[in-house]
Structure 1
Amino acid sequence: MTTSLAVLFLIFHSLAYNSINFSSKLNQTI
């Protein structure tokens, strides 16, 4: 149970990090 929660947290964290990087790159191109 704890491991699945940690995996979900890692996946969510990486997704948020990727979206932030993507938005920053988008702002640079515009």
Structure 2
Amino acid sequence: MNQERDNQGPTGKDAEYPDLPDTSSWQPRK
């Protein structure tokens, strides 16, 4: 569990897709 990841944004989906700007309009890569 890295604290740096939490600093970048919310955990969960955003953690798996840090490239995305936010989870409000996130989409899984295909």
Alignment TM class, shorter chain as reference? under 0.3
Greater helix percent: which structure? 1
TM-score normalised by structure 1 residue count: 0.18
